[in-house]
């Protein structure tokens, strides 16, 4: 695909065309339907339509969220050395569906991490570089992190009343791997109003475990007062520069045993 020329060509089946032809082929719909799908997903207005918010349109439902994808990446390799180097075990890789994607497109040459909404529907992929290419983490345009809590659908299915809240995808995987499957990630160090609502609706106990850097410390200081008084809250502080995904499973287990309620 050539972004500069707004065109694609498949050298296997000889299909070619512009972005609308590509979406039509991937979604198995007409070109007109492809145009409408793109307008809806990107939050842009077409001819004869009033200008609307450029934020991504919410899916129907009481809580809203990012739009579910109508496709999934194929041939994702779960055995890439990057996952091994980060200490992610095969069972965890399989549970989260992560792996290296060698195909084309936005996620090409990256470790792909499937992101689901609160109902378990696939809404996006995040691509993590393995060779130092910027950006380190790549998300699709229009995806709104504030409308999703990573791993919420699995955490809620555990049936527990407590949850561990971390910043990143691999933090969440390492907490899960250490024997605490009820864990979610903010995909950053801030808590949106929607994410706060989901936590308080589903859990009575929250353990806040953000990174030990300045962003994590600032995030904890901002989030803790909002949650305190609304749930049983524990805030765990990591040493400067430390983060959960760098800890061994036994270190995580020992750390979570030391939670001090506010």
- Topology (CATH level 3) of domain 149-256: Dna Topoisomerase Vi A Subunit; Chain: A, domain 2 (3.40.1360)
pLDDT in tens, 93-146: 999 999 999 999 999 999 999 999 999 999 999 999 999 999 999 999 999 999
Domain range summary for the chain, segments of one domain joined by +: 1-54, 76-146, 149-256
Q: Residue 152: which H helix or E strand, with range?
A: helix 152-157
Strand order in the sheet with 232-235: 183-185, 162-166, 205-208, 232-235
pLDDT of residue 253: 95
Strands of 194-247 (E only): list them.
205-208, 232-235
pLDDT in tens, 40-91: 554 443 433 333 332 333 344 445 579 999 999 999 999 999 999 999 999 9
- Topology (CATH level 3) of domain 76-146: DNA primase DNAg catalytic core, N-terminal domain (3.90.980)
Give 181's pLDDT tier (boundaries 50, 70, 90).
very high
pLDDT of residue 261: 45
The hierarchical CATH code for the domain 1-54 is 3.90.580.10
CB atoms under 10 Å from CB of 53, counted, come to: 8
pLDDT in tens, 219-245: 999 999 999 999 999 999 999 989 999
Considering only residues 163 and 52, tell me which one the structure prediction assigns the higher pLDDT.
163
Phi, psi (deg, nearest 5) at residue 93? -55, -45
- pTM of the shown model: 0.76
Q: Could you tell me the sign of the dihedral formed by the alpha carbons of 111, 181, 231, 246, in that order?
A: negative
pLDDT of residue 28: 62
pLDDT of residue 32: 57
């Amino acid at each position: 695909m050539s972004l500069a020329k707004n065109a694609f060509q498949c050298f296997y089946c000889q299909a070619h065309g512009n972005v609308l032809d590509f979406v039509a082929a991937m979604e198995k719909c007409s070109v007109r339907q492809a145009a409408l799908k793109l307008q809806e997903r990107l939050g842009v207005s077409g001819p004869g339509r009033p200008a609307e918010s450029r934020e991504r349109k919410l899916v129907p439902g009481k809580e809203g969220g990012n739009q579910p994808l109508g496709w999934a990446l194929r041939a994702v390799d779960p055995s890439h050395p990057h996952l091994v180097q980060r200490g992610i075990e095969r069972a965890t890789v399989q549970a989260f569906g992560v792996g290296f994607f060698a195909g084309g497109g936005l996620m090409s040459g990256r470790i792909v991490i499937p992101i689901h909404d609160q109902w378990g529907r696939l809404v996006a992929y995040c691509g993590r570089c393995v060779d130092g290419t910027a950006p380190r983490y790549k998300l699709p345009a229009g995806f709104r992190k504030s409308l999703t809590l990573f791993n919420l659908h699995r955490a809620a299915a555990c049936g527990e009343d407590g949850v561990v809240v971390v910043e990143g995808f691999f933090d969440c995987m390492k907490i899960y791997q250490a024997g605490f499957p009820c864990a979610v990630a903010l995909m950053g160090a801030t808590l949106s109003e929607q994410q706060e609502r989901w936590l308080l609706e589903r859990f009575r106990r929250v353990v806040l475990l953000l990174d030990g850097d300045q962003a994590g410390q600032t995030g904890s200081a901002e989030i803790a007062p909002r949650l305190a008084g609304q749930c049983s809250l524990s805030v765990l502080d990591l040493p400067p520069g430390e983060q959960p995904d760098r800890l061994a499973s036994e270190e995580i287990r020992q750390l979570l045993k030391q939670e001090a309620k506010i």
